[in-house]
Amino acid sequence: MERDALGHVQAEVIDCQRCPRLVEWREQVATERRAAYRDVQYWGRPVPGWGDSAARLVVVGLAPAAHGGNRPGRIFTGDRSGDWLFRAMHRAGFASQATSTHRGDGLELRDAYVTAAVHCAPPQNRPTTEEFHACAPYLQRELQLLDRARVVLALGGIAMASVAALAGLRPRPRFGHGAEATLPDGRVLLASYHPSQQNTFTGRLTEPMLDAVFERARAIIEA
C-alpha cells in the first residue's frame, strides 16, 4: 500500500506545473544543455523522490541540480554532490553501490529514501519562498507515507528548516552539522552540511564528517 501511495505522489510530482519560474528554467536548461552533455536527452521535469518504501531513514536535500538531477531525472544523480552522498550511504549500508550516474545504473537504496524540499531545479539553486510552499505538500505526504522512518536527515539548513516547519516543530532547531532535534511524532531530525562543491571543495564537509552523520543515523535506527 505504501509503495503504491508513494508511486502516486511521485507521479504527481513529475506532472507538476505549479511554479512558472521553475518550469521555464528546468525546460530551458534541458534545451540548451551543458556542452559536456550536448548529446544527452535531459529529463527537464520535476524530479521525484525515490528509494525503499519501508525506509527507516529519509534523506532530504534542497532541490535537484540543473545539470545533475534535472538531467537524468533522479535526485542526487550524475553530479558531485551525489557522488559524495552515495559513497557515504554505501559505506553505511544504505546504498547498493557507491556510484550514481543515471537512473538505470543499478543503484538501489536499502532502508533509505531520498527526496528534496523542492522538486525542480531552481535558478542559482535558490527556490523562492512561494516555491517552497508550493512544493511542501509533496514532502509532507512522503514523510507521512514513510511511516517506518525513524530518522529524517536534512542536508543543509534550508532542508532542516523545511522539515521542521512541516512537522510543526517549535522552537525551530538551530542548524549545525550533526545537530539533532526530536519531531512531534517522535522521529529524530538529524542535520548535515549539504555535500555541495561549495562545502566539499573548501573542506567544510569531509568524508569522515559525513560518515559520522550516517553512523549516528544507523545507531538511532538500530537502537
Q: Percentage of residues in the chain with pLDDT exceeding 70?
A: 99
Indicate the average pLDDT of the chain: 96
Which one, of 137, 197, 196, 124, lies nearest residue 165 by Cα?
Answer: 137
pLDDT-derived band at 1 (thresholds 50, 70, 90) equals: low
Q: Name the domain count of the chain.
A: 1
Q: Rounded to an integer, what distance in angstroms lies between the CA atom of residue 217 and that of residue 201?
A: 24
Residues 6+ apart with CB under 8 A from 126: none
Q: Rounded to an integer, what distance in angstroms lies between the CA atom of residue 3 and that of residue 186?
A: 23
CA angle, 6 then 148 then 99, to 5°: 70
The mean pLDDT of 30-47, rounded to a whole number, is 94
Domain containing residue 41: CATH number: 3.40.470.10
Q: What is the pLDDT of residues 174-183, one digit of tens each?
A: 999 999 999 9
Confidence (pLDDT) at 53: 96
Predicted model pTM = 0.96
Q: What is the pLDDT of residues 202-215, one digit of tens each?
A: 999 999 999 999 99
Query: Is a pLDDT exceeding 60 seen at residue 105?
Result: yes
Confidence (pLDDT) at 36: 87
- Work out the burial of residue 27: count CB atoms within 10 Å of its CB; fewer than 13 is exposed, 13-18 middle, 19 or more buried: middle
Which one, of 76, 13, 53, lies nearest residue 144 by Cα?
Answer: 53
pLDDT-derived band at 116 (thresholds 50, 70, 90) equals: very high
Q: Which domain holds residue 148?
A: 2-222
- Work out the burial of residue 177: count CB atoms within 10 Å of its CB; fewer than 13 is exposed, 13-18 middle, 19 or more buried: middle
